[in-house]
Amino acid sequence: MKYQSQSIARLYFIAAIALFIGQILFGVTMGLQYVWGDFLFPAIPFNVARMVHTNLLIVWLLFGFMGAAYYLIPEESERELFAPWLAKLMFWIFLVAGALTILGYLLVPYATLAEMTMDDLLPTMGREFLEQPTITKIGIVIVALAFLFNIGMTILTGRKTVINLVLLTGLTGLAVFFLFAFYVPDNLVLDKYFWWFVVHLWVEGVWELIMASMLAYVLIKVTGVDREVIEKWLYIIIAMALISGLVGTGHHFFWIGTPDYWQWLGSIFSALEPIPFFMMTLFAFNVVNKRRRNHPNKAAVLWALGTAVMAFLGAGVWGFLHTLAPVNFYTHGTQITAAHGHMAFYGAYVMVNLTVISYAMPIIRGKQANNERAQVIEMWSFWLMTVSMVFITLFLTGAGILQVYLQRYSEAPLPFIVVQEKLALFYWLREFAGLVFLVGLILYVYSFFAKGKEVEIVEDLDMKKAVTS
Amino acid sequence: MKQAQHTNEQLKNASNVALASLLNLTLLPVISFIYLLFIYKNTKPGQIDHYHAKLGIKLNLVAFAALFLVSALMILLGGFNSPWTWVYVISYFTIVHTIFIVIAVWALVRAWSGDKLTKN
C-alpha cells in the first residue's frame, strides 16, 4: 500500500460485506415467503423483508463505492487523503444511521417509524427503495457531502487522472440525483418522474461511471496495460453510458400516465443502453488479452472479467429483453423485471465492489495477493455466487414469461394471485439457487481467514520475454 | 512479438472477419455472414485471417443451429399456444445467444492481437 490513508477503505469494505450478508439472509427469507406466506409472520412480514433486502443492498453498495474511492483516489492522486479523520467519522455516522434505520424497519410498524422520525415535517417516506426516514436521508446527504469534499480536495490538490475524475463525476452525480428523493409531489405521475430521477439516474447513469472507473483502475493494476489505452476505452464507455442512460429513463415512464412520446424516446435510447456494457466486456477482454504481467491475485482478475460479462448479461441483455414499449406493454412490473434487477445489480455493482475488495484487501493487509488456498476458495465463491445468480435469473425469467402469458396475453386472463400460485415451482427453484448463493457468500467470507502457501510476486511478461530472448 | 508473424493485411482481415462474425450475431445478420464468406474465399490456409474467417463461419453456423433449429424444435414439440413452450424458448434463446456473443467478443480481441481463439 502506497499511502497510509488508503487503509481507511478496510473499514468500509468490512461494513459492506457484513451488510451484504444481511441482505442475502433477508433475500432467502423473502424467497421462502413467496411459497410459504406465513414464514416468520408476523415478526418479519414480506413487505418489511423486501424493504430490508433492497435497502441493505443500496447501503452496502454505497459503503463499497466509498471504500473503493478511499482506496484508489490517494493512489491515483499521488497523495494522502485530504482528511482521513473525516472519512473515519463519516463511516461511523453512516453505519450507525444505517443500522438504526434497519432496526426501525424491523422493530416498529412503518407508519409509527414515520411518526417517530417526524416525517410529516418534510414527507419523503413510502417510496420503493427510498423508504428511509427523512432524517436518515438528511444524514445520507451530510455523509455524501463530507465524502465528496474529502475526495474532491484530495483530487484537486493532487494528480488528476481520467480514472479519479470519472469517479468523482459519478460520485457527485450520485449525491446530486439523491436530492430528488426530497421532492414528493402529490400528483402520482409527477411523483414517479422524480422517483425515477433518483433510482434510474443512479443505476443506469452515474453508477455506471463509478463502475467503469473502478474496473479500469483494477485492470490497470492487474494487467499492466498502458494507462492511455484504458483511458481511451473509459471515455467511450462513459460517453455511451450517459448518451443512452439519461434519456433512457423514459423506459420507466411507459403506461403510468405520462405522454406517449416517452414510448419512442424510452424505447430508442434504452435500446442503446446495452452498448456501454457490451463495450466494458470488449474492454476487459482486450486488456486482459494484452496484459503485460501475470498478477498473483488471480481471483481479482476473475472478478474483473466476471463483472464485465455479467453486467453485459444482466444489465444489457436482460434489460433489452423487456425495454421496448410493445414488449413492455405485457412485461411491465412482472417477474421479468425482478429477473433483470437481480442479475443487473449482481453483475454490475455487486461484482465490481467485490473486484475492488478482492484486489485491495490483500494489499491493505500487507501482501500483494491472498495465499493460494484463500484464492481457490474465493474463486469457488465466485463461481457459486455467479452460477446461482444465473439460475435465479433464469427461474425468475421463466416465472415472468408464464406470468405474462397467463395474466396478460391469454384470451382468458387469470387474476394476479391465481397466477402467483402457478409460479410456485419457479419460486422453489429460485429459493434453492438463493441458498447456493448464500453458500458461495459464506465461502467468500471464509476466504479472508483461510491460511495457505503464500503466492509469488508479480511476473512481468515483458521482462520475462527480454530475459529469455 | 506475435504480430510480426503476420502481415498487416492479414491482421486487418482477421479483425474484419471477427467483427463480421460478431455483427452477424447481433446488429447485422446475413449481410455480415456473406461478407465473412467473401473474405474467407480470399484467404490462404495456415494464415491468421483464414483461421478467424473459418472460426467465424463455424461459430455462426453452430449458433444458427443452436438458436433457430433448437428453438423451432421446441416450438414444434411443445406447441405454439403453450405458455411453457415460450418459457423454454425465450429463456433458452436469450442465454444461448449471449454465450455466442461473448465467444465472438473474445474471438475479436484475439484477432486484434493476431492470436488464435485459444492458446493451444
CATH code of residue A266: 1.20.210.10
Q: Report how far apart, in Å, the C-alpha atoms of A58 and of each of A199, A202, A302, B108 are.
A: 10, 11, 24, 36
Nearest by CB: A282 against B1, B90, B105: B105
Mean pLDDT of B32-51: 93
Last residue of a domain, one of A160, A177, A212: A160
Mean pLDDT of B45-64: 96
Is residue A142 located within the same domain as residue A201? no
Identify the pLDDT of residue B119. 76
Distance in Å, alpha carbon of A127 to nearest chain B alpha carbon? 31
Q: How close, in Å, is residue B83 to chain A by CA atoms?
A: 6
The pLDDT of residue A465: 52
A180 touches chain B (CB under 8 A): no
**Domain boundary, last residue among A141, A160, A179:** A160
Residue A437 contacts B, CB cutoff 8 Å = no
pLDDT of B2 over the 50 cut: no
Give me the residue from A285, A410, A465 closest to B1, CB to CB.
Answer: A465
Whether residue A459 is contained in a domain is answered as no
Q: Is residue B95 very low, low, confident or very high in pLDDT (cuts 50, 70, 90)?
A: very high
Nearest chain A alpha carbon to B82: A405
β-bridge partners, A460: A293
Q: Which domain range does residue A363 map to? A: 188-450
Which residues in chain B are contacts of A278 at CB distance < 8 A? Answer: 105
Residues of chain A with pLDDT under 50: 466-469
Site from A405, A426, A464 to mutate, B interface, most B CB atoms within 10 angstroms: A405
CA gap A29, A190 in Å, rounded: 34
Decide if A311 contacts A346 (C-beta within 8 A). Answer: no
Q: What residues in A contact B86, CB-CB < 8 Å?
A: 401, 405
pLDDT of residue A458: 56
- Identify whether A428 is part of a domain: yes
Instruction: Give the separation between CA A53 and CA A99, rounded to whole angstroms.
Output: 13
Distance from CA of A401 to the nearest CA of B (A): 6
Residue A367, Cβ neighbours under 10 Å: how many?
Answer: 15
CA A220 to chain CA mean position, Å: 21
Q: What is the pLDDT of residue A310?
A: 97
Judge if A64 and A202 occupy the same domain: no
Average pLDDT, chain B: 93
Is there a domain that residue A33 lies in?
yes
Note the pLDDT of residue A469: 42
B94 closest CB neighbour out of A289, A317, A405? A317
Q: Which of residues 89-118 of B touch A (CB under 8 A)?
A: 90-91, 94-95, 97-98, 102, 105-106, 108-110, 112-113, 115
ipTM of the complex: 0.90
Domain boundaries, chain B: 2-112
- The count of domains in chain A is 2
Q: Which of A281, A398, A401 sits opposite B105 (nearest CB)?
A: A281
Q: CB-based contact (8 Å) between A41 and chain B?
A: no
B1 touches chain A (CB under 8 A): yes
Residue A413 and residue A374 share a domain: yes
Contact state of B86 with A405 under an 8 Å Cβ cutoff: yes
| Cell numbers placing A223 | 494487467
CB contact under 8 A, B105 and A402: no
Are A210 and A201 within 8 A, CB to CB? no
> Which of A290, A309, A401 minimises the CB distance to B90?
A401
B86 touches chain A (CB under 8 A): yes
Beta-carbon contacts of A304 under 8 Å, excluding residues fewer than 6 positions away, are A215, A218, A219, A222, A284, A288, A355
| Same domain for A295 and A364 | yes
Q: Assess whether pLDDT exceeds 50 at residue B48.
A: yes
Could you write out the DSSP letters of every residue in A425-439? HHHHHHHHHHHHHHH
Query: Nearest C-alpha of chain A: how many angstroms from B21?
Result: 14
* Strand residues in A358-421 grouped as ranges (E): none
Same domain for A222 and A153? no
Mean pLDDT on B20-27: 96
The partner residue sitting opposite B83, judged by closest CB among A281, A290, A405, is A405
Of A160, A176, A207, at which residue does a domain stop?
A160
Structural domain contains residue A460:
no
Q: B3 pLDDT exceeds 70?
A: no
Same domain, A252 and A393: yes
Question: How many angstroms separate the first and last alpha carbons of chain A?
Answer: 33
Task: Please name which of A61, A27, A163, A141 lies closest in space to residue A93, comparing C-alpha atoms.
Answer: A141
Amino acid A466: pLDDT = 46
Chain A residues close to B102, C-beta within 8 Å:
281, 309, 312
CB pairs under 8 A between A and B: 48
- Mutation to test the A interface, candidates B98, B103, B105, most A Cβ within 10 Å: B105
B91, A398: Cβ pair inside 8 Å? yes
Q: Which three cell numbers stand for residue A79?
A: 497523495
Q: Are residues A379 and A415 in the same domain?
A: yes
**What gap in Å lies between CA B88 and CA B71, rounded to an integer?**
9
Nearest to A290 among B98, B108, B113 (CB): B113
Q: Which three cell numbers stand for residue A86?
A: 473525516
Residue to mutate among B23, B94, B99, with most A CBs inside 10 A, is B94
A chain contacts of residue B90, beta-carbon cutoff 8 Å: 397, 401
| Cα–Cα distance for residue pair A357/A209, rounded to 1 Å | 18
Listed in sequence order, the DSSP H helices in A130-161 are 134-156
* Cα–Cα distance list, B41 to B17, B38, B44, B107, B113 (Å): 12, 5, 8, 20, 22
All residues of chain B having their beta carbon less than 8 Å from the beta carbon of residue A340 are none
The confidence score (pLDDT) of residue B55 equals: 97
The number of CA neighbours under 13 Å toward the Cβ of A303 is 32
In a domain, residue A373? The reply is: yes
pLDDT tens for each residue of A166-207: 999 999 999 999 999 999 999 999 999 999 999 999 999 999
**What does the DSSP 8-state code read for residue A414?**
P
Q: Does A309 touch chain B (CB under 8 A)?
A: yes
CA dist B63 → A351, A354, B28 (Å): 28, 33, 15
What is the rounded distance in angstroms from the CA atom of residue A142 to the CA atom of residue B80?
Answer: 57
* Cβ-defined contact of B98 to A321 (cutoff 8 Å): no
Say if residue A305 is in the same domain as residue A385: yes
Tell me the HSE value of A402 on the side-chain side, using a 13 A CA sphere. 20
Co-location of A103 and A206 in the same domain: no
Name, in order, each residue with C-beta under 8 angstroms of A442's C-beta and a sequence gap of 6 or more.
Answer: none
Residue B87: which pLDDT band, with cuts at 50, 70 and 90? very high
A401, B83: Cβ pair inside 8 Å?
yes
Q: Which helix (H) or strand (E) holds A395?
A: helix A372-404
Same domain, A427 and A379: yes
Q: Is A67 in contact with A13 (CB distance < 8 Å)?
A: yes
Question: What number of residues does chain B have?
Answer: 120
Neighbours of B85 (CB within 10 A): 19
Q: pLDDT tens-digit profile of A335-379?
A: 999 999 999 999 999 999 999 999 999 999 999 999 999 999 999
